[in-house]
Structure 1
Amino acid sequence: MAEEKNERVSQGSANMNSCCEALRKQICEIEKQNQSLKQKIRTAKKTITRLRLERSFLFDKLERVESLSTQEEVPFSDVCQDSFKTHSLEKGREVEKNGRLPSHSKKAPNFKARRDPKGPRRPLSAFSWFCQQRFADLANNLSTQEVNNALRTSWKDLDSSEKEKFFQLYEQDKKRFDKEMLDCEEQ
């Protein structure tokens, strides 16, 4: 009898241990979900703060534009920039040199190379030369999308010997571009 009680106790404790483990796993899962929800709430609060700032900025800008007399010739971009700076300073926020609020995001900056407006235009591709020559024929009574589709399919259907003429135009344009780039760099 004593042995049976010991077996029951050991079985009961084994069941208790398995139940405890299952509960611990559920608690861990709930805690992970809780953490992700907390992060979503933080993100939502930041978004709400940003949207409130934008809304108040837009209202200030609207008031400023409405208050301007029609006789004053002030560029709209100047009005926007000035009202943004004054609004941000009133709210106790610093404004960077470019007139924007400092960003606190960890995104990498986008360093897209901008084309020099005084520099030469890039060479047209062979397909672009093809489109320039054929566009006038197709554009008369077709929509833009239909013209683009027709140009694309006719380019695909061209033989390589017919395409060669457009590749030669590209090579000539590339030589022109390289020459103009050298001239531009010398200046």
Structure 2
Amino acid sequence: MELIDAIQQIAILPDAELEKLLGITERIEVEKNSILIDKDRTSKYIYFLTEGICRIYYPKEQKEAVLDFCFPGDSILSLKSYVHNTPGYEIVDTLENCVLYRIPVSKLQHLYNSSLPISNWGRKLAELETLKIEQRLMQTLFKTATERYSDLLTKEANVLQRIKLGYIASYLGVTQVTLSRIRAEIK
């Protein structure tokens, strides 16, 4: 997905406002196994992924809890950093070489003060990110691991070839043995 499509799927901006937003956006290429957002550090950017896959996880003691995966077309941000300008909880790393566009939150804040359409776009971005968190919570509370696995396959069909099974098991909240059973059921 291209950057303009990713921006406009959040909320349609008039051409002049879109140009302002694009004017503060930078294209970056990031190698596999790089950290985009680190826990306990304030994230200064909002990212839009156009190529590759990222993983959002929370490290706990000797293991990690994978919260979500990001695919082309997804926005990536630490909501806590975005809203409060304070360190977040999560780590976002690249599982493949990635192409992203990043927007400095500080420059975006200036645009919010001077442009009502961009300010409304930013509000909509925060709302959509909140809904993603709510959806993940509802999946965890009310769907089985098998249902969550099917949902992941629907979102990104070739996910098994691109993401380590240990990460998928962590995302589902199951062991790799249980994931193997789930995979056998679905085949």
Q: Do both share a fold (TM > 0.5)?
A: no
Structure index of larger Rg: 1
The structure carrying a bigger helix percent of its residues is 1
Question: Aligning the two structures, in what range does the TM-score lie when normalised by the shorter sequence?
Answer: under 0.3
TM-score calculated relative to the size of structure 1: 0.23
The structure carrying a bigger strand percent of its residues is 2
Higher relative contact order (CA 8 A, sep 6+): 2
